[in-house]
Structure 1
């Protein structure tokens, strides 16, 4: 039985032991208090690395047959280095994979470490839990920002949430500073900046009641998601797209499918499908572990 440890790092650290692509035992969470959401944001990079190491060692619980450790981190991840991390800026430039691997060895855990974008880890988790490890899986995560994950892993930045979907110079709400991005339309932060007098849920509630301004935005929001999906289809081919995240509640699948159909007209590219799934830590942990196992055998 293949044993790996999967870890996700975002608002908190969540780690778990994965055996044959299934979670084995309880997950460890730091910080444990759900209202302490800024604990990691305020930590120096060295302290985050130490915390990760301690959580992993506790999950391992003295086992010597763990082959790999996978860590999902939001941002641009390449060759084991965090090149950009908007939500954990102190990690930018960190040789994360190398440093964490060294710390684990110092604590008696000699396992390969694989660092990947957290959305890619989520895509791998969906592939593992949905029996699609032999297929291309793509996932949009709709939250504070917009994440895009792909399985199997391919080299590249894959910052799909920053796909340019409009040429309107006024569309400048993306947190990266770029104009016309999906995230600048769909991201929770961007929506709050756009509607200073309303929360995002209030915008969609008003749209359902026929408010013209909010209904126009609902259409723009869905067109942005459709445009990002259509772009991926044109670049990477058709297939299954999963949609998750706390703002998946705003998705109108009928509207979204209609817009995608208007954008994707070449018949060989029309064999795509959409499915809404729950975004949970267990799937992300499994995905990070699966990706680490596969990286260890490449």
Structure 2
């Protein structure tokens, strides 16, 4: 049976956990129907930017189960699995770390969601995955590169690093050490010199208490504030350094940049810094591409992980 035929016969619900829950039915690696959210956006003034942050893990698992039931209403018997992408490190269904959703740390999340689904009449496997890995899997599927290695940086509240195919290794690339400056201690995990401590949205707001990140980069582009110009250079050097380290460890290849802060990326500047850091000719066949923030990609990627885990 061909891959297309096999995947077309499989119905999986992909779920993403970020500022809110999003879920969609995926058939043949394509979202089939509407994407549903929990909770529904109620405000445009930023007051409910992260309504999940204080929701207990049990309640979050139940909310996912309810959302899956809504997505599959009337088609429950077609469901084969549920894939969940979340911002954290997941091993054997247990959330080992989740700095942006600390209530999930240590949660046996796969078991919790499976129990919630079973209570709603859906006894199917659940496969949690890191959200950056899910984006990499989604991009590989959408670009017809499921037989290729894909790496992706997600630039948002934190910094994620994803790879497809999934290796099972700890992939906390956002915590790569890119500075030896003792003053670089803005990372949410408490570590010094981390990529996320320079590039993460939260870290930038802590660094510039008098300016929002958008204002920092606007001033840097206008060259109206030397402090902002210097930070823009540091921001790009940090990403180049982490990318260069990945190239030196795992070889050249394709890197995608995604997330809502890709708007700050100056590709010529980034490529220039990267060229300064990767000098071996055998490693210079890398490329970088910006892709739009797309929840559908995350949902498809979560479904791809669930499908492959069951093969």
TM over 0.5: yes
- Deviation of 1:39 after TM superposition, in Å, equals 2.6
- Deviation of 1:34 after TM superposition, in Å, equals 4.4
Does residue 127 in structure 1 map to residue 140 in structure 2?
yes
8 Å CA contact 1:78–1:156 kept in 2: the answer is no
Distance 1:38 1:179 in 2: 26
Does residue 55 in structure 1 map to residue 67 in structure 2?
yes
Distance 2:281 2:38 in 1: 48
State the partner residue of 1:201: 214
Selected match of 2:122 from 97, 109, 112: 109
Distance 1:250 1:103 in 2: 40
- Deviation of 1:110 after TM superposition, in Å, equals 2.4
Matches within 5 A, 1:1-298: 1-35=9-43, 36-61=48-73, 62-210=75-223, 211-297=225-311
- Deviation of 1:237 after TM superposition, in Å, equals 1.3
| Secondary structure of the structure 2 residue equivalent to 1:14 | strand
- Deviation of 1:253 after TM superposition, in Å, equals 0.3
Distance 1:130 1:34 in 2: 34
Distance 2:131 2:118 in 1: 24
8 Å CA contact 1:139–1:244 kept in 2: the answer is yes
TM-score, normalised with respect to structure 1: 0.97
Distance 1:241 1:145 in 2: 18
8 Å CA contact 2:13–2:81 kept in 1: the answer is yes
| Secondary structure of the structure 1 residue equivalent to 2:243 | helix
Which ranges in structure 1 are unaligned for 5 or more consecutive residues? none
8 Å CA contact 2:199–2:235 kept in 1: the answer is yes
Distance 1:38 1:166 in 2: 30
> How many residues end up aligned between the 2 structures?
297
- Deviation of 1:106 after TM superposition, in Å, equals 2.6
- Deviation of 1:194 after TM superposition, in Å, equals 1.2
- Deviation of 1:52 after TM superposition, in Å, equals 0.5
Distance 2:111 2:190 in 1: 31
| Secondary structure of the structure 2 residue equivalent to 1:71 | strand
- Deviation of 1:60 after TM superposition, in Å, equals 1.8
Distance 1:129 1:45 in 2: 31
| Secondary structure of the structure 1 residue equivalent to 2:163 | strand
Which ranges in structure 2 are unaligned for 5 or more consecutive residues? 1-8
TM-score, normalised with respect to structure 2: 0.93
The CA deviation string for residues 61-116 of structure 1, in whole angstroms up to 9 with x for no partner, is 23313222100011111111011111211111110112211221232212211011
| Secondary structure of the structure 2 residue equivalent to 1:64 | helix
- Deviation of 1:38 after TM superposition, in Å, equals 3.6
Name whichever of 60-69 and 225-234 sits farther off.
Answer: 60-69
Q: CA RMSD in A?
A: 1.2
Distance 2:231 2:51 in 1: 34
